[in-house]
Structure 1
Amino acid sequence: MPTMSPPTVRTSRLVHKRSASCDASPETVRAVWRAADAVCFDVDSTITPIEGIDEIAGFCGVGKEVSEWTKQAMGGNLPFKTCLRERLNIIRPTRLQTETFMKTHPPLLTEGIQELVEALRARGREVYLVSGGFDFFILPLAQLLDIPAENVFCNRLMWYYNGEYAGFDEQAMTCDNGGKGRVCGYLKRTNGHQQLVMIGDGSTDLEAAPPADAFIGFGGVVVRERVRREAKWFVNGFGELTDELPPVDGDDL
């Protein structure tokens, strides 16, 4: 199947909604973080230093062709579903390739995320992973963090009976622009969360607030200029977030 070449124009013609964090003060975002009853983390370049789709593209021998599309997707310059579809049309990963990739590339966590998730759990916070990546890559990371599969919202590859690539689930909330926001809204409606925070490195994370009550930009792996500029609270490591949490049951930590 022929694929589009990534555009050479770097300026976006998309109109982005302002996030709640754009209008809030840094102090407000910190206050929401301290009081949050739910936290949603992006995955690639956030809880893991790896961009999963770029890594499997390299494994399949098409890394250079795919990486430019990833830059466009993370920068918010093109519809996310378009970038996702075109990247996968280049890679066309088979079931065997994904299984082999995971055997040879064990899951890797970003420094400080395990301690932060444990600190959130100790305070009774619910933790979710919300990603435009794929379940074969993300679920092993969730297991390392003891996050149940039902708290993971991501995309799903599909294969024909012979294991050849057949596409992806285009009904998943996370496969299109605004998908992470839809997940955040769904979690608030379904689970009754009153203060939900989205944390991530990309424009799709930034745009999840609202309905997320606050957005925190993460630059511990890579700094996206738009996110750094628009996030009212931008951190360079998870330790900054752990340090901001209130004591457990009033005890000094």
Structure 2
Amino acid sequence: MNHVLTVIGNPAQGPIDDAALADLALALQQAGAAVGEADWLAPGEAADLPFDGIAPLAAEAIADIALSGLAVDRLAQAVAGRARQLLIADMDSTMITVECIDELADFAGLKAEIAAVTERAMRGELDFETALRERVARLKGLSEGVLQTCFDERVRFTPGARALVQTMAANGAHCALVSGGFTFFTARVAAHLGFHENRANILHVAGGALTGTVAEPIVGASAKLESLRALSARLGLRPEQSLAVGDGANDLPMIEAAGLGVAFHAKPKVAAAARARVNVGDLTALLYFQGYRKADFIA
């Protein structure tokens, strides 16, 4: 069959079982779809349901109703080309669980103030670049050594992050970390997870302390989109061969431009616009969307 509906649960919130998939298959058939046999990518956690005869968006709408009692993520798409060859990923609140600028602000006693601005910027309520300059200015005088302390004590990797990058890279995909955060952190996160390259903003330092300024031009929404396009061209890939994932408003242009754009536990504006959403699972959901089995994961 030419299409597949992938359903992913969270074992901590209750497994998916054969009965649930049978109910979903019946609902699809009642809507006019031809449905194949379910294929478990991870027993109780993720499964593919092949189908034809109805549009992917219609299949997703049916899944939302048929599985309404379960905590699941779902995506319907064409089978051909579902394994992508380029990964463009956001860092803060995507590949790691924190916002680095908020954690840096905590060392200056400003976390509540800075985090409130970060939240508004990520929701798309503030201009990202202006908000970044203003937040960085508040960090003026912070010791350069705090950067390493922040990384060591505060940065935690999102479950599934390393498996996502390592598995895609092992299967020939190019993986790039592109962040509106800072190169001090992206370099270390990229090295730990296995990204091929990283791009972010450069914090200015003088005399062992932050100057309160950041190098221009700022890496924001347009720079992330440009990175997606430039990398696709450099690698000789078509747009549909790319996967972009993020959570904030500055990720939206690249998410919309990618072959598969994923809103990961995202802000409402991003989740509403993205083709795919992960609200239940971890970052391995992106591997299941591409047809990888849990047994194939590399971490």
TM-score bracket, normalised by the shorter chain, equals: 0.7 to 0.9
Could you list the runs of 5+ residues in structure 1 that have no partner in the other structure? 1-23
Secondary structure class of the residue paired with 2:258: coil
Alignment of 1:9-88 (within 5 A): 27-28=76-77, 34-88=82-136
Deviation at 1:120, TM superposition (A): 0.8
Q: Any conservation in 2 of the 1:197–1:213 contact (CA below 8 Å)?
A: yes
Alignment of 1:151-166 (within 5 A): 151-165=197-211
Tell me which residue corresponds to 1:102: 151
Alignment deviations for residues 85-133 of structure 1 (CA, whole Å, 9 cap, x no partner) = 011111223323323333444x421111111222212211111101100
Question: TM-score by structure 1 length?
Answer: 0.77
Tell me which residue corresponds to 1:227: 270
| Structure 2: distance between partners of 1:32 and 1:136 | 38
| Structure 2: distance between partners of 1:32 and 1:128 | 23
Tell me which residue corresponds to 2:237: 193
| Structure 2: distance between partners of 1:182 and 1:205 | 12
Distance 1:33 1:60, change over 3 A: farther
Instruction: Give the number of the structure whose alpha-carbon radius of gyration is greater.
Output: 2
AA aligned to 1:187 is L
Distance 1:163 1:114, change over 3 A: same
- Identity score, percent: 28
Deviation at 1:146, TM superposition (A): 2.2
Tell me which residue corresponds to 2:285: 240
Could you list the runs of 5+ residues in structure 2 that have no partner in the other structure? 1-55, 58-74
Deviation at 1:234, TM superposition (A): 0.2
| Structure 1: distance between partners of 2:79 and 2:143 | 46
Distance 1:87 1:122, change over 3 A: same
Secondary structure class of the residue paired with 1:49: coil
| Structure 2: distance between partners of 1:100 and 1:204 | 27
Q: Does 1:213 align with 2:262?
A: no
Moved more, 123-132 or 200-209: 200-209
Alignment of 1:121-132 (within 5 A): 121-132=169-180
Aligned pair count reads: 218
| Structure 2: distance between partners of 1:96 and 1:120 | 34
| Structure 1: distance between partners of 2:76 and 2:94 | 23
